[in-house]
Structure 1
Amino acid sequence: MMFKYIAPVALLVGAASVSAEEYQLFTELRADHIRVSGDNETNWDLNGTYFFDKKVTLGPLDQFEYINKVTNINAGYSRAFDENFLRLGGEYFAANGLVVSAEHSRVSGDYINEFGLGYLVSDNFIVRARAVKPEDVSTTYWFSASYNHQLQGNDYVGFTAEVDDEFDYFTLSSKYFAALNEGRYIAVGVALADNDGSSSWAAEADYYFSQMTSVGLSYDKGDDYSLNAKHFFNQNWALEAGFGSNADTSDAKVYSLNVTGQF
């Protein structure tokens, strides 16, 4: 089951400046405690991304432009269900609009290599092609395009479509971000997918009481849902907690805790 992994906690709402902040280094440590029919497992995830130029917030401290245009490197380590997952990747944005990306990941000795080429047609439109090669499996190719429609101020509606080379799998996603009044914001995302005739959908929404505090929820076609709350205690550190389950059965539950550092 896929969740947004997060549950209700007491909200800490404080006064915060609405000025934009700038960050280059993002780190995240996450723990997901999963309980299924009496059995339980705690999974861990550690991720970091460094951008070679500053990323500017749109108001909330965890909201940035829809289409990233900054060269970066990223790495991650996960321990889930007694398996170790390792990942190392990056993106390079050239001055002429060319975008090159690469990623290497491993799980229990097996690897997946990914290489991508793209072109930044404009600040609001990017196209990409990816080649994904798992160990001992044929290479698959993926093609995508993302478009950002800028609204008033920092508000926007973004769209992304992706399809594989045999047109067996297709996804379409969209995100809406808007400033409300009195320093409040909203972000809403929806996604549709078709996997060789089997369709699915998912939706999520986050409401920001200020640039530092938010609550959110998600729901999908399989009746999986999650609830979350997130608070930045200062400009650099945030704590997020949440709960996820399924509306049709209470056998599976996910309790999550996430610490984020931005510098």
Structure 2
Amino acid sequence: MRFKYTLPVIALFASTTIQAQQSLPQKSWFTSFRITDFEHISNNAYALSSQYYFAPQESSGTLDDWGYIDTDSNVSFDYAHFGSSNPFAVSGEYFMDKFFAVGGLAHNNGKTTGLAGVGYLFADNLKTSVMYNEDTDDTYLTAQYQHDLNSTDYLGFTANTDVEFDSRSVSARYFALVNNADHVTVNLSYSDNKYNDYWSGGVKYYFGQQYSLGLGAIDSKLLVEADYFFSNEYYVTFNYLDNVYQLALTAQF
């Protein structure tokens, strides 16, 4: 999600940033364009993702955290290009009070597969679902839980497994307001299947509503991340992981 022209762009937009960060308006449409550069590989990878919610989303306190659990109907589109490969996917969730339906289609290398499922939402802080993935021919169970520590801080947990417990993952997130203006997040996750397992973790610190810096590891490989928020509508993110560089521009309206 990131790259090499970050500093000139920052200088260009810096004069408008402070004014735009005085409030955190609601957003419904989130779109990101990403460029990934692999060292020792001549081709870059490009990706475009877009998600639209049929109800305004409220920020948890930063310009890139809009709640841990999705509780509103939404549709999304994802496209990537790398070499001769151009996979794309469409998906969505439709809520009917506490019940919701999940569906999606993915196309890659001439093959189209589907995803379908149903779920139930308990009091907006516990979300459960069962989904069938045609690509893997497996049925998956997922549960998400958010525990609000106070009006600004929360703990989030996600667990996912197939019905035979051959592939499973767990993750946790801590989000908190510090120093009356800054925020900090801590993310941890662990996944394993019958072939391998891996873990990841990281900490990100937000300096007001303009900058954030993150440091972590994915399967013992160093991850560095930085965000610059031009305004409440646009921001860039730079990532580095094991000789892979990524730059993203995100727009949200």
Normalising to structure 1: TM-score of the pair?
0.86
- Contact 1:18–1:183, Cα closer than 8 Å, also in 2: no
- Contact 1:7–1:229, Cα closer than 8 Å, also in 2: no
Q: Structure 2 stretches of 5 or more lacking a match? A: none
Q: Per-residue CA shift, 1:165-189, capped at 9, x if unaligned?
A: 1111111110110000141001111
Q: How many residues align structurally?
A: 245
In the TM superposition, residue 20 of structure 1 has moved relative to its aligned partner by 3.1
Q: Measured at CA, do residues 43 and 244 of structure 1 come closer, stay the same or move farther in structure 2, by a change above 3 Å?
A: same
User: 2:61 matched to 1:39?
Assistant: no
Residue of 19, 24, 29 corresponding to 1:20: 24
Alignment of 1:75-114 (within 5 A): 75-95=77-97, 97-114=98-115
- Which residue in 2 is equivalent to 1:65? 67
Q: Structure 1 stretches of 5 or more lacking a match? A: 246-252
Normalising to structure 2: TM-score of the pair?
0.90
What is the CA–CA distance in structure 2 between the aligned matches of 1:33 and 1:25, rounded to whole Å?
Answer: 27
- The root-mean-square deviation of aligned C-alpha atoms, in Å, is 2.1
What is the CA–CA distance in structure 2 between the aligned matches of 1:102 and 1:117, rounded to whole Å?
Answer: 9
What is the CA–CA distance in structure 2 between the aligned matches of 1:205 and 1:15, rounded to whole Å?
Answer: 25
- Which residue in 2 is equivalent to 1:147? 145
In the TM superposition, residue 27 of structure 1 has moved relative to its aligned partner by 0.7
- Which residue in 2 is equivalent to 1:188? 186
What is the CA–CA distance in structure 2 between the aligned matches of 1:130 and 1:209, rounded to whole Å?
Answer: 39
Q: Which has the higher contact order (CA 8 A, sep 6+)?
A: 1
- AA of the residue aligned to 1:179: L
In the TM superposition, residue 227 of structure 1 has moved relative to its aligned partner by 1.1
| SS in structure 2 at match of 1:84 | coil
In the TM superposition, residue 151 of structure 1 has moved relative to its aligned partner by 0.7
| SS in structure 1 at match of 2:179 | coil
Q: Measured at CA, do residues 77 and 198 of structure 1 come closer, stay the same or move farther in structure 2, by a change above 3 Å?
A: closer
Alignment of 1:1-263 (within 5 A): 15=18, 17=21, 19-35=23-39, 38-95=40-97, 97-134=98-135, 139-196=137-194, 198-221=196-219, 223-245=220-242, 253-263=243-253
- AA of the residue aligned to 1:233: F
Q: Would you tell me which structure has more strand in proportion to its own residues?
A: 1
- AA of the residue aligned to 1:77: Y
What is the CA–CA distance in structure 2 between the aligned matches of 1:207 and 1:6, rounded to whole Å?
Answer: 18
Q: Per-residue CA shift, 1:10-57, capped at 9, x if unaligned?
A: 68886464543210111111000111xx33320000111111010011
What is the CA–CA distance in structure 2 between the aligned matches of 1:220 and 1:7, rounded to whole Å?
Answer: 20
Q: Per-residue CA shift, 1:194-225, capped at 9, x if unaligned?
A: 2127432111221100123211123022x222
Q: Measured at CA, do residues 233 and 6 of structure 1 come closer, stay the same or move farther in structure 2, by a change above 3 Å?
A: closer
